[in-house]
Amino acid sequence: MEEPEMAPVIDQETTEMVSGHGHILIGGTGRTGTTLLVQILAHLTFDTGYSKDEALRQVDSLSRAGLERSLSDENLPHVIKSPWLADEIAEALERGTRIEAAIIPVRNLFDAAESRRHVNRQAESLGKDPLTHPGTIWKTVVPSEQEKILAEQFYKFLEPLVANNIPLIFLSFPRFTKDPEYFYERLRPLFERHGIPRDKVLEVHAELVDPALITEFSEPGKIPFDQEVSIRHPSSASSDGGDGGASTPGAMETYLSPVSFWVPNFFEASEWIEHVPFAFWLIEAHQPRTLVELGTHGGCSYFSFCQAVKTIGLATRCYAVDHWMGDKHAGFYGEEFFERVRDYNQQYYAAFSRLVRSDFDEAVAHFSDASIDLLHIDGRHFYEDVKHDFETWLPKLSDRAIVLFHDTNVRERNFGVFQFWEELQADFPNFEFLHGHGLGVLGYGSALPQKIRTFLGATADAGLAADVRKHYGRLGSSLKADIIQRQKYAQVTAKLKEQERLAEELKQQAGEAKELNEYAEDLRTLSAKVASLQAQLPTASNEQEPRARELNWHMGELATLRHHVASLETKLSNVYASRSWRMTAPLRAVAQGFKWILGNRRSSE
């Protein structure tokens, strides 16, 4: 019976969304065509962070995997694909990251797991590191556990999306690679929302998709895959000259767990990034009641502890002690450095984490004796400083206490951590990682959990200790490589922004130049008119000369008349003011009266 067509699960309230109103996520179990989806969307002009050529080139040739982004990256593209979305989605939604929809390809769980085991075997056969190679077994070193891990991660990814009403679009894999009409119909709401026509979708699908590349696997139970696909680590190969003491994959379960494969939410360019996988494992295995870090700097180690506490759901109280001014070894920095750490802590971990801004010696008085289960010492690295910090805080350590010392493998710039560490090793159970500048794990307490005692006991077995270091070294180097990629991406993004700024400046300058050219043209036009008028001026002057002489003559006559009138007015004023004029006033009045009488008589006759 043919499978009925079903409309994508799209929330009606979100159907008016357009590009830029949130990210499109691509996730699930992996090994379900997620990289292919990014390539298709890149060729359909969606912002995936990759050009069409990059989407084709930046893919591993063995596993055909790649094109991944982290939700914690800055300047995220519109489309984000990552196997780590399950670890990042809840916190991303908490900090307000907007999601337009999630595309989730789904295949048979066994096939998804077996595909990873298949790539794992291929990587090993080519001498590649299966633990860090793309597309291999994930979050475990035990191949038979892969289905369980994938199922857990799938649920972990879905739950926050459903809780936040994020539209979900499920795609059947490998069906969507073989049926372009099905592919279009399932994603049609997104294509229509973004103005991508059906013909274009089908054209790109035909161009990029090759179903023949999909590997088919046997049904569960037909082969004893627990035996057939067991991972063979290079450390256990006879070519290494081992004496049989190297661990088997199953033995690594004691020293690794799924949390060891988490991706940190807080990334910082720090050597401590290489110890974050162990920090996750340590918090899960130890479950400290009180954690204190001396020397937090930018927060790489401290926020990895906090992430594990929050994600696992522990009741641990966390304290970061630092004056956040820097020192000779870490370098000196400004107030903005502390503000960045403070703001991140306030946003994500304020419920159980507190920053103590003071010297280590001042802070110690504020902690009760025998109260600290996990102490991380990472302050000044001179021998005397490290010894002083340890001895000062010693009374505060509980019977479950573990003490971490960073930089145990640094032997330059007068670092003295390694010297003090060597002194402590003889007296306490311990384990030392050599990568990431070295990290010493000291079992100080007498009542350590069994998992921790077993872990520290690996030191006595040289082969086992080497395997533990190798696994965590690989995980750490993977994160360090991620940091380098993030830095390169940030640099490229900064350069692109600078180019955009310069382009905008050039555009403005071009506009100003155009405006200046228009002014110049107007000026040339006016100059020509002025020149023309100046040329006409002599002729106009000749024509107006007779009229000007006549006008000047009249003006002269007018001036003469005005002078004469003024002279007469002066004389008349003098007469009115004279004594004789005042004395004859009665006579003039009588004479005026006679004139009036005579005038009336004439009128009556």
For 12-45, how does the pLDDT look when each residue is reduced to its tens digit (9 = 90+)? 333 333 344 799 999 999 999 999 999 999 999 9
Least confident of 42-46, 415-419, 537-541: 537-541
Peptide bond into 174 cis (omega under 30): yes
pLDDT-derived band at 331, boundaries 50, 70, 90: low
Least confident of 144-153, 253-262, 284-293: 253-262
Report pLDDT for 339: 93
- Residues near 356 by Cβ (< 8 Å), separated by ≥ 6? 319, 320, 321, 322, 363, 366
pLDDT-derived band at 586, boundaries 50, 70, 90: low
CATH architecture of the domain with residue range 12-232:
3-Layer(aba) Sandwich (3.40)
Over residues 580-598, mean pLDDT: 60
Report pLDDT for 557: 63
d(CA 336, CA 348): 19
Over residues 237-241, mean pLDDT: 32
Averaged pLDDT of the chain: 82
d(CA 144, CA 150): 11
Bridge partner list, 79: 24
Q: Do domains 12-232 and 271-488 have the same CATH topology?
A: yes
* pLDDT at 469 > cutoff 50: yes
* pLDDT at 160 > cutoff 90: yes
pLDDT digits (tens, 9 = 90+) for 357-383: 999 999 999 999 999 999 999 988 889
Compute the half-sphere exposure of residue 568: CA atoms within 13 Å on the CB side of its CA: 6
Over residues 568-592, mean pLDDT: 63
Report pLDDT for 17: 33
CATH architecture of the domain with residue range 271-488:
3-Layer(aba) Sandwich (3.40)
Domain ranges of the chain: 12-232, 271-488
pLDDT-derived band at 574, boundaries 50, 70, 90: low
* pLDDT at 220 > cutoff 90: no
Compute the half-sphere exposure of residue 73: CA atoms within 13 Å on the CB side of its CA: 27
pLDDT-derived band at 405, boundaries 50, 70, 90: very high
From the list 19, 160, 33, the residue with the least C-alpha distance to 78 is 19
pLDDT digits (tens, 9 = 90+) for 163-172: 999 999 999 9
Least confident of 115-124, 422-431, 564-573: 564-573
pLDDT-derived band at 273, boundaries 50, 70, 90: very high
* pLDDT at 418 > cutoff 70: yes
Over residues 151-160, mean pLDDT: 93
Q: Which contacts of 207-210 are long-range, i.e. CB under 8 A and separated by 24 or more positions?
A: 207/43, 208/36, 208/39, 208/40, 208/43, 209/36, 209/40, 209/177, 209/180, 210/177
Residue type, 120: N
Tokens standing for residue 292 = 């204190």
- Could you tell me which residue, 129 or 199, shows the higher pLDDT? 199
Residue type, 76: L
- Could you tell me which residue, 433 or 258, shows the higher pLDDT? 433
Reduced 3-state DSSP string for 136-150: CCCCCCCHHHHHHHH
